[in-house]
Amino acid sequence: MIREFNVVIEKDLDGYFVASIPNLKGCHTQAKSLDVLMERIQEAAELCLEFENQDSPTSEFVGIQKILVEI
């Protein structure tokens, strides 16, 4: 079975790319390049799915929105 997931990618202050999959609890990884990051998040997703509880409720990814906050 093939499942599709949204991956959230950020870049931290040290220059590492950080990826997470909101619909898979605890599924995240990091790498110095996007190519390596995508390989690693694929592996992480496969591992998370091996241990996923099929009875757990899933949420629907809606999107990401930026906001401005004055401090």
2-43 pLDDT, tens digit per residue, is 889 999 999 999 999 999 999 898 999 999 999 999 999 999
What's the CATH class of domain 1-71?
alpha beta
Tell which residue, 4, 1, 6, 3, has the closest CA to residue 61: 6
- The pTM of the full predicted model, rounded to 2 decimals, is 0.78
The DSSP secondary-structure symbol of 21 reads -
pLDDT top residue among 33 and 65: 33
Alpha helices in the chain (DSSP H): 34-51
Q: What pLDDT score does 55 carry?
A: 55
For the cut 60, the answer to whether the pLDDT of residue 66 exceeds it is yes
CB atoms within 10 A of CB 45: 20
The answer to whether the Cα torsion of 68, 26, 5, 9 is positive or negative is positive
